Amino acid sequence: MDVEAAYDSVNEDQLLIATVEFKISKKEKLTDLTTETLNNLRCRVKMYNDLSEQFTTYRGLTQADALACQLLKIALENVIRDSSVEKRGTIYFESTQILAYSGDIDILYTFERAVKEAFINTDKEAQKMGLRINETTTKFMDVTMIPTNTKRLKAGNNTIEKISEFKYLGILITSNNLNTEIQHILQLTNRCYLELRKQLSSHYTRISIKLKRYKTSVRQ
């Protein structure tokens, strides 16, 4: 599930309610300070050396703000908690499992009915927070030994397209097995080794420089 324009569409009132419910600060000082940073927020747009006139924003978060990332996490956490989707345990013991990073939410499932229910509930709570699920970039994939003929998944008013592979946090995940990802990693490793082979085997390069190149280019 991909959240569309997450930073720009957060409902500030619902976000502040969530910060109070989470009891982030016992003395409510942090909540009060956060409220002040969101109320009557005036912005200006700079293009080259020209500044626009001030305008007031009533929705969304300022992406340049240091609090924006943390506030978005609180918004997504509130969505997941209110969606009644199982958050404890793993897919080995539950019918669904939630994984979330930034504005992306992954729902692992064992039954099609379970993922439909989880998607509908999450979408409903996301709308309350002002967030919109991007139907175009939201996809689903079957990871099973038995191939299925399902090409699209209908969940509520959304139609989700089926894919055979996708990249998540730098890892290529396929619908059949991990051979594709293993081959991809091997190719990257061989390419990196060939590019650094002369420098790592050179007798004129200091050991400290070789170690630095290894840590920054190979080990990461």
Q: What is the mean pLDDT of residues 199-218?
A: 79
Q: Which residues, in sequence order, are CB contacts of 67 under 8 Å at separation 6+?
A: 34, 37, 61
d(CA 106, CA 2): 9
d(CA 58, CA 54): 13
Eight-state DSSP code of residue 52: P
Residue 89 has pLDDT above 70, yes or no: no
Residue 77 has pLDDT above 80, yes or no: yes
Residue 64: the pLDDT is 66
Name the pTM for this structure.
0.62
Q: What is the mean pLDDT of residues 93-113?
A: 74
The amino acid at 193: Y
Which has the higher per-residue pLDDT, 64 or 125?
Answer: 125
Residue 117: the pLDDT is 84
The tokens of 76 are what? Answer: 């997504």
Residue 176 has pLDDT above 70, yes or no: no
Residue 109: the pLDDT is 76
Residue 49 has pLDDT above 80, yes or no: yes
